[in-house]
Amino acid sequence: MKNNPFTRENFQFNTAQYSYLGYMVFAVLFVFAALFWKERAVCMDVAFQAFWLINEGTFQVQVNRFGVALVQWLPLLFIKLGASVEWILFVYSLSFVFLQLVFYFLLSRVFRNDFLALAMAFLFVAQVNGAFYWTISEYQQALGLLLVFFAFVFQRQQLNIASFAIAIPLIITLVFYHPLIFFVFGFLWAFFWLHYKLFQRWEYYAIIIVMLLTWLVKSIFFKNWYDSAKNRYLLQNLEQYYPAYWKLDSNLQFWEHCKETFFFFPILFLGLLIFYIQNKAWLKALLIISSTLIYLFFVNITHASGAEYFYIESFYFPMTLFVIIPLIFEFGHKWQARKWVIKLIFVFFVLRLFVIGNGHEYFETRYQKVGRLVALCQAQPTQKLMATEQIMRDQALEMNWAVPFETLFYSIIEKSEQQQSLFIYKNLHSRQKEVQHSKDILFYMNKFYKYKDLNTNYFDFKEEEYLEIQKNGFEKN
C-alpha cells in the first residue's frame, strides 16, 4: 500500500536512547519487585491467590479473567519443581514485572514501535505509587497487552484475514482481562482514527466492532459475582447521589491524588488541550476531555465513598494513556532531535522510580503488623485463632479479609515455631457457624477450607478447634 503511515520508521526515534530509558525503568522495577517481595506477595489479594496457586498447583482464574495465566505460570513452575514457599512467593512478585518487561520487549524490539514502548514506560511510573505494591490488579496486566495489540495492528500495515485470526483472540483476552479495558481501548482507537486517515478504512472499523461485540457477549453471557457487585454499586450510587455527583468523596480523593501523585496528568492534560485548541483540532480536544470526564465519573461514582489509596490508584493511573499517547504521537518526531528531551525524560523517570521505591513503607508497615499478629498467635496454645473486628480494633488492618493467608505465609517465611492462621470477621456466615467447632477446617472470608483439601507438602495444621479470642491483645480469659 502506497503512502502507508504504518511503517516502522513512523513509530521509531532516531536514537536507541529512548528504548534504553524504558529498559532502565523496567529493570529498576524488577529490582524493586525482588527487594520488596515480602511486601508485595504477603499482601491481601496477592496472598489470597498465592495460597490457591500453591494449594491447587494449577492456574487460578478468578471471575473469568483468564489472562492471569501470564503471571501465574512462573510460580506454578516453581511449585511443580517443589520449591519452598519463600521461593514461590519471591518469583510470584517478580512475575508481574517480568510480564511488563516482556510486553516492553515486544513493543521495542519485535514490533519496533518506540512510541508505544515509551508510552508503556510512562504508564507504569508516571502516576504509580501504591499500585506497584498492590500488584494483583488484572487491569495493570491488560494495559500492557493492549499496547502490544495496537503495535501489532500498526505492524501489519494492511489488515487481512490472517491478521484478524490473531487480533480476535487478543481482543477476547483483553475483554476478559478486565471490564474497564474497553474504555482505554476505545480511547486509543478513537485517537488513532483521528490521527491516521488509514484508520478510517473498513478493517479498522471492524476492530472496534469486534471489541464492542465481544464486550457485550462477555457482559451478557459471562457474568460473575464480582463484576455484578460493581455494577450494583454503580447503579445504586447513580440514584443515591443524584444530582450532586460533584460532591462525591471519591472526587475529593482524586484531587488529593493529583496533588500528591497524579500532578503529571493535569499538567499534560491542560497543555494538550491548549495545543489542540490553538491548532483547531477540535475533535482531538473533545476526545481527551470526554474520555477523561466519562472515565473519571465512571470510576468515582462506582467508588463514591472513596477507597484505599493503592486500590483506587490502580483505576486512576491508566488515565496516563489519555495524555501520553497524544503527546508522543503529536511531538515524538519533533523532539527526537533535541537531546535535552531525553535528559528531561531520564530525570523524570529517576524521580518517579525514587518515589515508587520509597512507597514501600506503607506495605512494609503492614507486613510488620502481620508479624505482630503472628507473634500474638504464637503465644496461644493453638495454630488457628479467630476474633471479631471489634476485638481486633487496635491491630486493625485494611482489607482484613486476607489476614488468614497473610498470617499463614508470614509464619512460614519467618520460620515461626508452627504455622498460624488468624481469622478476623464481622459476622460469621451461617455455613461457618455450622462447622465452627470442627477440627479440620480453615476459615476465610465467608467460607472455609477442609484439611483434606490442603496441600500437605506446604501447609501443616493439626486437628483442633479454632480458639475464639475474647479480649483485645489476645489476653487469656
Query: Does 320 fall in a domain?
Result: no
Q: How far is CA 355 from the centre of its chain?
A: 18
Domain count of the fold of the chain: 2
Query: Does 233 fall in a domain?
Result: no
* 346 and 452 inside one domain: no
Q: How far is CA 54 from CA 87, 407, 408, 453, 460, in A?
A: 11, 16, 13, 12, 13
State phi, psi for 263 to the nearest 5 degrees.
Answer: -60, -25
* 382 and 340 inside one domain: no
Name beta bridge partners: 450: 441
Name beta bridge partners: 443: 448
Chunked mean pLDDT (size 10), the chain, 477 residues? 62 90 97 97 94 95 92 96 96 97 96 96 94 93 97 86 93 94 97 92 93 94 89 92 91 87 89 97 97 96 91 93 96 84 95 94 93 89 89 78 94 89 88 86 87 92 89 52
How far apart CA 97 and CA 87 sit, in angstroms, is 16
pLDDT number for residue 363: 94
Query: Does 293 fall in a domain?
Result: no
Identify the domain boundary among 291, 325, 358. Answer: 358
* 354 and 454 inside one domain: no
pLDDT number for residue 239: 93
pLDDT number for residue 3: 56
| Residue tagged 505465609 (cell numbers) | 409
* 126 and 145 inside one domain: yes
The strand pair at 421-425 and 441-444 is best described as: unpaired
Query: Does 329 fall in a domain?
Result: no
Identify the domain boundary among 324, 358, 392. Answer: 358
* 467 and 339 inside one domain: no
How far apart CA 49 and CA 59 sit, in angstroms, is 10
Cell of 384: 488457628
CA 341, 347, 351, 352 torsion: positive or negative? positive
How far apart CA 263 and CA 266 sit, in angstroms, is 6
Cell of 26: 523496567
pLDDT number for residue 69: 94
pLDDT number for residue 8: 63
* 125 and 157 inside one domain: yes
* 338 and 385 inside one domain: no
* 27 and 130 inside one domain: yes
pLDDT number for residue 275: 97
Task: Tell me the residue range of the domain where 450 lies.
Answer: 362-474
* 437 and 342 inside one domain: no
| Residue tagged 499538567 (cell numbers) | 267
* 339 and 465 inside one domain: no
Q: At what angle do helices 161-177 and 181-195 cross, to 10 degrees?
A: 140
Query: Does 425 fall in a domain?
Result: yes
Query: Does 290 fall in a domain?
Result: no
How many alpha carbons fall within 13 Å on the CB side of residue 272?
26
Query: Does 235 fall in a domain?
Result: no
SS3 104: helix
Identify the domain boundary among 320, 342, 358. Answer: 358
pLDDT number for residue 41: 96
Name the residue among 287, 399, 345 with its Cα closest to residue 117. Answer: 345
Beta carbons of 295 and 183 less than 8 angstroms apart: yes
Quote the DSSP letter at residue 469: P
Name the residue among 202, 213, 192, 97 with its Cα closest to residue 150. Answer: 192
Name the residue among 174, 204, 287, 182 with its Cα closest to residue 6. Answer: 204
Query: Does 326 fall in a domain?
Result: no
pLDDT number for residue 1: 45
* 88 and 219 inside one domain: yes
* 339 and 470 inside one domain: no
pLDDT number for residue 391: 82
Predicted TM-score (pTM) of this structure = 0.93
